[in-house]
């Protein structure tokens, strides 16, 4: 597993480049590599914007799906209403509100766990074939 | 604090040419927007070509920054054209839910340059006929 700390804006770029490299090595095609790096960029930015810092974990999935799993972990304020946060265009930070719903469309799986005041964990997966 | 994006903005005739050669982070995107608007104002440029062919990932932040820059350039009477977006990036942006509505695009610099010249010529004709 590869861990990328998110502490400053340039770490968002580091995270998406690392995810793209890993996806490429695993045999994902160019469009899927771009989907993965874009989803990582959106979600790593959420970590930076809402929690100021956190971590991105990249790992290879084997069972039941072959693919990549990326986990975003922060100890920020949490998401009060996950259903609302999954809606297109909803944002509490003045952004476009494409992060979570957009990342969900780009990936095969997206799961959000969040507790007010404790932090947020977002898991995304992209499967090979 | 950084004062400038350090991305070169070149002037050719009435137009500016900006080529983003590496994966930029959010702060650089914000600075580039300021730099482009400042150069439009300084040079009275009528058009801007922004080449993004080297960008492998364009997320919602960069996309919005480019769209905002185009809208602001338009207020300064300059037309901004996004050049060279890869088909992969276009696919991903659409899936992400971004339409880039109102932003003009061209497949390469030649096409972008022709578009700008045509639209500048049209503006001159419009003014004469007023």
CA distance A44 to chain B (A): 11
Q: Report the C-alpha gap between B52 and B47 in whole angstroms.
A: 16
Q: Which two tokens stand for residue B5?
A: 């994006």
CB count in 10 Å sphere of residue B65: 18
> Could you tell me if B64 lies within 8 Å of chain A, comparing CB atoms?
yes
The sign one gets for the Cα dihedral A100, B89, A93, A73 is positive
Tell which CATH architecture fits domain B9-128.
Answer: 2-Layer Sandwich (3.30)
The pLDDT score that the predictor gives to residue A98 is: 78
Q: Report the C-alpha gap between B79 and B39 in whole angstroms.
A: 13
Do the chains contact at A38 and B26, CB–CB below 8 Å? no
Task: Estimate the share of chain A in helix, then strand, then coil, as percent rounded to the nearest 5.
Answer: 40, 30, 30
DSSP string, A62-98: -SSS-EEEEEEEE-SS--S-HHHHTSTT--SSSS-S-
Q: Which two tokens stand for residue A12?
A: 């968002």
The closest CB to that of B60, out of A31, A34, A42, belongs to A42
CB < 8 Å to B100, chain A? none
Q: Report the C-alpha gap between B32 and B24 in whole angstroms.
A: 10
Q: Which two tokens stand for residue B60?
A: 């919602």
- Per-residue pLDDT reduced to its tens digit, B9-45: 999 999 999 999 999 999 999 999 999 999 999 999 9
pLDDT band at B93 (very low <50, low <70, confident <90, very high): very high
The pLDDT score that the predictor gives to residue B38 is: 97
- Per-residue pLDDT reduced to its tens digit, A25-62: 999 999 999 999 999 999 999 999 999 999 999 999 99
User: ipTM of the predicted structure?
Assistant: 0.87
CA distance B3 to chain A (A): 16
Locate the chain A residue with the closest alpha carbon to B22.
A13
Give me the residue spans of the domains in chain A: 2-127
Q: Report the C-alpha gap between A28 and A68 in whole angstroms.
A: 9
**Before B129, cis peptide (omega within 30)?**
no
- Per-residue pLDDT reduced to its tens digit, A52-103: 999 999 999 998 999 999 999 999 999 988 888 888 877 877 777 778 999 9
Among A6, A14, A34, the strongest candidate for a mutation testing the B interface, having the largest count of B CBs within 10 A, is A34
Return the CATH class of domain A2-127.
alpha beta
Residue that the structure tokens 């390469």 belong to:
B108
Beta-carbon-side half-sphere exposure of residue A5 (alpha carbons within 13 Å): 3
pTM for this structure? Answer: 0.91
> Could you tell me if B59 lies within 8 Å of chain A, comparing CB atoms?
yes
Give me the residue spans of the domains in chain B: 9-128
Q: Report the C-alpha gap between A41 and B29 in whole angstroms.
A: 14
The closest CB to that of A102, out of B27, B89, B97, belongs to B97
Do the chains contact at A102 and B96, CB–CB below 8 Å? yes
Can you name the residues that pair with A57 across neighbouring β-strands?
A3, A71
């Amino acid at each position: 597993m590869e861990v990328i700390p998110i502490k400053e804006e340039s770490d968002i770029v580091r995270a998406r480049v690392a995810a793209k490299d890993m996806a490429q090595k695993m045999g994902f095609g160019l469009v899927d590599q771009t989907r993965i790096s874009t989803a990582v960029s959106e979600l790593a930015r959420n970590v930076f914007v809402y929690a100021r810092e956190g971590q991105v974990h990249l790992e290879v999935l084997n069972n039941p799906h072959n693919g990549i799993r990326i986990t975003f972990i922060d100890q920020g304020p949490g998401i009060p209403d996950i259903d609302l946060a999954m809606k297109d265009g909803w944002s509490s930070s003045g952004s476009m509100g494409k992060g979570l719903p957009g990342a969900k469309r780009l990936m095969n799986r997206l799961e959000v766990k969040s507790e007010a005041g404790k932090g947020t964990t977002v898991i995304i997966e992209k499967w090979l074939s | 604090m950084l004062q400038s994006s350090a991305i070169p903005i070149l002037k050719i005739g009435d137009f500016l040419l900006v080529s983003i050669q590496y994966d930029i982070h959010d702060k650089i995107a914000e600075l580039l927007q300021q730099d482009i608007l400042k150069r439009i104002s300084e040079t009275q440029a009528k058009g801007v070509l922004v080449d993004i062919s080297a960008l492998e990932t364009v997320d919602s932040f960069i996309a919005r920054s480019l769209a905002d820059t185009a809208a602001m350039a338009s207020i300064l009477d300059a037309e901004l054209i996004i050049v060279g977006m890869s088909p992969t990036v276009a696919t991903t942006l659409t899936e992400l839910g971004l339409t880039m509505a109102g932003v003009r695009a061209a497949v390469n610099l030649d096409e972008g340059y022709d578009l700008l010249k045509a639209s500048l010529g049209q503006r001159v004709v419009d003014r004469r006929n007023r």
